[in-house]
Amino acid sequence: NGTRDELVEAVHQQLRDKRFNHCLRVEQTAIQLAEENGVDLEKASIAGLVHDYAKERSDEAFIGMIKKHQMDPDLLNWGNAVWHGIVGAEFIHDELGIDDEDILNAVRYHTTGAVEMSPLAQVVYMADYIEPERNFDGVDEARQITHKDLRAGVAFQTKHTMLYLAEKNAPIYPATLLTFNRWVAQKQ
């Protein structure tokens, strides 16, 4: 698959080996979750591969992109953790020529989640969280829940990310809070 080989090369060029290898593992986990949930395997592969494509860009590069695309000015109050998905999708669009909105949204939402997440976006959000070399407390429970019920996995990650951020007095990005309210606080 020539398309994939070129993409792998483009991603590798942007990332240190450690993060590049994480992207390969997220790709494989995303493909597995896609198989389990009837999601397009090629989209899962592409989105998994590129999800952290922009993570090693400078703050200046992200700020330039936020301005170039006239994105929400509140983004300027945040940093790499929030930018590399939401703003990173614009680098992926502009530099890799990926224009599938489902793939781009999966990248946009992979860190914070979103109120509305397509099955592909859920797959990438969870693959990033449970790829085989993740080893935080609760990761085995996260894997078990996610393979049983993808949406329950999304709720699990969202809750635990909120707890993790609160524990270290980190600011909660508004989309993260909205994701919590939708996916954890009130299921109706």
The site for ligand DGI (CB under 6 A) is made up of 52, 55, 81, 85, 110-112, 128, 161, 165, 170-173, 176
Closer of 63 and 165 to ligand DGI (Cβ): 165
Q: How far apart are CA 9 and CA 19, in angstroms?
A: 13
By CB under 5 A, residue 131 contacts Fe ion = no
**28-57 binders of Fe ion (CB under 5 A):** 52
Residue 106's nearest CA partner among 87, 122, 90, 127 is: 122
Helix (H/G/I), strand (E/B), else coil: 106: helix
SS3 132: coil
Closest-by-Cβ residue to Fe ion is 128
d(CA 18, CA 81): 17
Q: How far is the CB of 188 from Fe ion (least distance, A)?
A: 26
Cβ of residue 55: shortest distance to ligand DGI, in angstroms?
6
Cα-based angle 151, 156, 160 (whole degrees, multiple of 5):
150
Window 69-128: residues binding Fe ion (CB under 5 A) = 128
Q: Which residues bind Fe ion (CB under 5 A)?
A: 52, 128
